[in-house]
Structure formats: structure tokens, C-alpha cells
């Protein structure tokens, strides 16, 4: 790959994070999209822990409660981090113990730079001290950010940034405690070797609304599917809910689409909706066990775009220092192989117009040598994962999608696999068995469209990095 070739002459450690965690993407709650800095306190964290249990979230897999930035105040004379005394009067270990008593795991935030993004003490030069401190508090999860540290906003990677993350990774390894490490470096150039550094790695800037979800997550992660898998995951950022009490919000349909797409992307599912005043819509979204099962599928395959009529994009066009582009007026189909079939999300990105989609079920396959593929099939048993209705055996799925981020999500089980409880034989198909993927005339979007092959993006071959 070109990116790997570009690393010649730059040494990156081959030693990985030795914790055995992250066999499936992490699930839980993070304070940032809910509280930001306001409300980060012992009182609210204990209320959140209570609420997570009351809502039954741990039973669905939401195991981590993570405090993001703004908890730390200063360093003591011994170099140990001291939380804000008024917000955390009994200290962080007391909070961790309370979270553990609720059957949850406790997470905390740090930064590889001198300061955190909110101007609190960072971890630069204190990697060993902080790793030992966090472990003494009973921390199970650490998010480590990238503000105020040496870095490069260009592609290829910054050796200084990698070296700092390695220092903290190695310090955690030496403690002997299994701590999930989530790297938040904002760059997709971490992906090719992310598993050597952490259990997940951010691929872009913060997702704050639907427009940033497109710019910094959806269009970026489409190029990175080969790098995520058991032990380490591409992280397109935390979930944004629609509940009024949270610091940031999307519309209800956009937040549901985000959850569907993140599940097909095999992305971390870290709730950012208001936990203490969660709407019934958000609760219904985040407790859909069938959609969660797609994210947590044991095959651990990150989904890809299998059809779209959006403009052709190249990875060079989605650098993180390129500010917002307008969301294109187009549609996409994302698919992910799961143990007994496929998950499919049909998405309308058009801000103003509804879209009619006629999707042939066999188009859930793709033909990328770096990805699992499948044998040809003409029909499948289809289930709508949000209405929870069986739609019967179909050769195609016809839906009308509302504008501005609406979607539909389905489970497809090809009939010839339906009786089998084992992994589909298609998962091991050779390249010679794969059908051609480029057949745009088989998909109709609303009024007749001329879908030119140079403006339709199909993942026929791995995208060059």
C-alpha cells in the first residue's frame, strides 16, 4: 500500500497493546456529547450509573461509563493528577467503586499533549505516573486525546504523535491490568497500524451534528474497512442523540441513521444522548437488540458501501484539515456480512427530496480482494430491523426514503444459507467466484437517472492510500 511505503525510514513499534480486549467494538456511555464540561461531577456520574442500570443498558452490552475531559484540575507535588475537589469531593477511586458496584466498568480521559483539549493537565511526560494512577483507581478504559501535542495535520503520520501514544500504551501494559485504550488522534492515517497502539482509534474530528457526521466519519470510514476487526476498531466518534437535554443533538431520524450506520461499520457504540432525560425515541434506538447484534457480530467485519450514486471520492479528498463540504444530494447502500447473512442500510443524503430505492438483494456482495465476499444468490429472506417485521423472500427491496439523512435497515439471509448454523461458505469465496460489482442499471433512484460509471463509487478494488 502506498501509505505503508510512505512510512519507510520512520520507526513505529511493532509491539501491541497486550490486553486481549476489544474482540467486538466497545459499548457504553461517554459524558462529552451529553454534558461537555458542564455537569461533569461525582453526583452526575453516579446518577448516570444508576440510570444506565435502570434502563437495562448493561444487559444489552453497554458496559463502560466513561468520563471525558474536564474532570482533572491540577497535578500534586508528586505529579499525580488531582480532580476538581468541588466536583469530585471523594476522589476518583470512590466514583470508580460506585460504578463497579453497579456492574459497570469505569473509564476516564487523558491527553498525550501537555494540556487536554479543555486546558486541563495533559499526560505528556507523565505516561507512567498516569497509567499507574488510573490503575490504582480501578480504571477499566482510557480515552487519550491529541490536543497540545506534537503533530502533523498532513498525511502521512506524525512520528512524534505515534511515539507519545506508544509511551502510554507501554505504560499501561506494564501495569498488568487489562485496560481498554481508545486513541483519539482525529486522523485516518492511524488506521493501518492502529491495532499496534490501541483497541480503537478515531479516524476524524468530532461528530457534532449530521453535517460533521458526513464529513468526518461516514465519507472517511468508507475507505478504512480493511483495518478494523477483532482487537481494534476504526472509531468514527461517539453517538449523537436527539434528546433535548444533551449538549449536542441531531434530528431523531439522523440519530437513528447514525446508529444503524455505526453498527454496519462495526464502530464503537458510545452513547452521547442525555442519559438522565433520554427521549423515548432515543431509548428505542439504543436498545434495539437486533441492530446491536449487527455491530457486535463475531465475524468482526466492517461494512462497506456496496452501491451509491454519490460523486466519486478519493481518500486524498477527505483529509481531516479540509473543513466541511456540503452533503451531496445522493443515496448510498452500506452492507456488512454477519454470521448468518448480511445487514443492509439504505441511506438518503439528499437534504430536500425523498428517494425511491429499488435494491437487488445480491448487491449486498462486493468484490474487493481485501474483503470477505460471497457467492451469487438471487433471493433472500428479508427482515426490517426497525419495524421488526419479516418481509418475506425477496429478490429486491423497494423503499421510499425521506430526505435529510433518513434510512432503512434490513437483515438479509440468502435462502441457501438459511438452514445452516455455520459461517456462510460465501465468506471464503475466491476472487474468481466473485460476480462483477458494477451494475448501476439494476438500481433505480426516484425518477430515471443516468448513472455514469465515472461518478458512481463501487469498492471493486481496495482504495489506494
Active site residues: 145, 206
115 secondary structure, DSSP code: B
SS3 459: coil
**C-alpha cell of residue 49:** 450509573
Per the CB < 8 A criterion, the answer to whether 373 and 434 are in contact is yes
How many Cα atoms occupy the beta-carbon half-sphere of 181 within 13 Å? 29
Dihedral sign computed on CA atoms, order 313, 319, 321, 324 = positive
Q: Pairing mode, if any, of strands 341-348 and 406-414?
A: antiparallel
Distances in Å between the Cα of 195 and the Cα atoms of 169, 231, 234 are: 11, 7, 10
- E strands, 23-168, where? 27-30, 64-66, 72-75, 81-83, 105-111, 141-145
Beta bridge partners of residue 74, listed in sequence order: 82
Per the CB < 8 A criterion, the answer to whether 339 and 299 are in contact is yes
Q: Pairing mode, if any, of strands 389-394 and 341-348?
A: unpaired
57 secondary structure, DSSP code: T
Contacts of 377 (CB under 8 A, 6+ apart): 361, 362, 414, 415, 416
Amino acid at each position: 500500500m502506498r501509505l505503508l511505503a510512505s512510512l519507510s525510514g520512520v520507526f513505529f513499534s511493532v509491539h501491541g497493546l497486550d490486553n486481549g480486549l476489544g474482540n467486538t467494538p466497545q459499548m457504553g456511555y461517554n459524558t462529552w456529547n451529553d454534558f461537555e464540561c458542564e455537569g461533569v461531577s461525582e453526583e452526575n456520574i453516579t446518577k448516570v450509573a444508576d440510570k444506565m442500570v435502570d434502563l437495562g443498558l448493561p444487559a444489552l452490552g453497554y458496559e463502560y461509563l466513561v468520563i471525558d475531559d474536564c474532570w482533572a484540575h491540577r497535578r500534586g507535588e508528586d505529579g499525580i493528577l488531582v480532580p476538581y475537589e468541588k466536583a469530585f469531593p471523594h476522589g476518583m477511586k470512590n466514583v470508580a467503586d460506585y460504578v463497579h458496584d453497579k456492574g459497570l466498568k469505569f473509564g476516564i480521559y487523558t491527553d498525550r499533549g501537555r494540556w487536554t483539549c479543555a486546558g486541563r493537565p495533559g499526560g505528556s511526560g507523565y505516561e507512567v505516573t498516569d497509567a499507574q494512577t488510573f490503575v490504582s483507581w480501578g480504571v477499566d478504559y482510557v480515552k487519550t486525546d491529541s490536543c497540545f501535542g506534537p503533530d502533523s495535520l498532513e498525511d502521512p503520520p506524525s512520528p512524534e504523535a505515534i511515539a507519545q501514544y506508544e509511551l502510554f500504551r507501554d505504560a499501561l501494559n506494564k501495569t498488568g491490568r487489562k485496560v481498554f485504550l481508545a486513541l483519539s488522534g482525529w486522523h485516518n492515517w492511524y488506521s493501518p497500524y492502529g491495532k499496534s497502539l490501541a483497541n480503537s482509534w478515531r479516524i476524524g474530528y468530532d461528530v457534532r451534528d449530521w453535517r460533521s457526521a458526513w464529513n468526518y466519519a461516514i465519507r472517511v470510514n468508507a475507505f478504512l474497512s480493511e483495518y478494523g476487526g477483532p482487537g481494534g476498531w476504526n472509531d468514527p466518534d461517539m453517538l449523537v442523540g436527539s434528546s433535548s437535554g444533551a449538549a449536542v443533538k441531531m434530528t431523531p431520524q439522523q440519530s437513528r441513521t447514525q446508529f444503524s450506520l455505526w453498527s454496519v461499520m462495526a464502530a464503537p457504540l458510545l452513547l452521547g444522548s442525555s442519559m438522565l432525560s433520554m427521549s423515548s425515541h432515543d431509548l428505542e434506538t439504543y436498545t434495539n437488540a437486533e441492530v446491536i447484534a449487527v455491530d457486535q457480530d463475531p465475524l468482526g467485519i466492517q461494512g462497506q458501501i456496496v452501491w451509491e450514486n454519490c460523486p466519486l471520492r478519493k481518500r486524498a479528498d477527505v483529509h481531516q484539515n479540509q473543513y466541511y463540504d456540503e452533503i451531496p444530494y445522493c443515496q448510498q447502500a452500506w452492507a456488512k456480512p454477519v454470521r448468518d447473512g448480511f445487514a443492509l442500510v439504505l441511506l438518503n443524503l439528499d437534504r430536500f427530496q425523498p428517494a425511491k430505492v429499488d435494491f437487488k438483494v445480491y448487491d449486498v456482495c462486493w468484490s474487493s480482494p481485501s474483503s470477505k465476499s460471497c457467492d451469487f444468490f438471487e433471493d433472500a429472506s428479508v427482515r426490517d430491523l426497525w419495524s421488526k417485521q419479516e418481509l418475506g423472500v425477496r429478490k429486491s427491496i423497494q423503499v421510499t426514503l425521506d430526505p435529510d439523512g433518513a434510512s432503512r435497515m434490513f437483515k438479509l439471509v440468502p435462502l441457501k444459507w438459511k438452514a445452516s448454523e455455520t459461517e456462510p461458505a460465501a465468506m471464503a469465496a475466491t476472487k474468481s467466484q466473485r460476480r462483477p460489482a458494477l451494475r448501476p442499471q439494476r438500481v433505480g433512484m426516484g425518477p430515471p437517472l443516468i448513472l455514469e460509471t465515472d461518478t458512481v463509487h463501487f469498492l471493486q478494488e481496495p482504495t489506494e492510500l
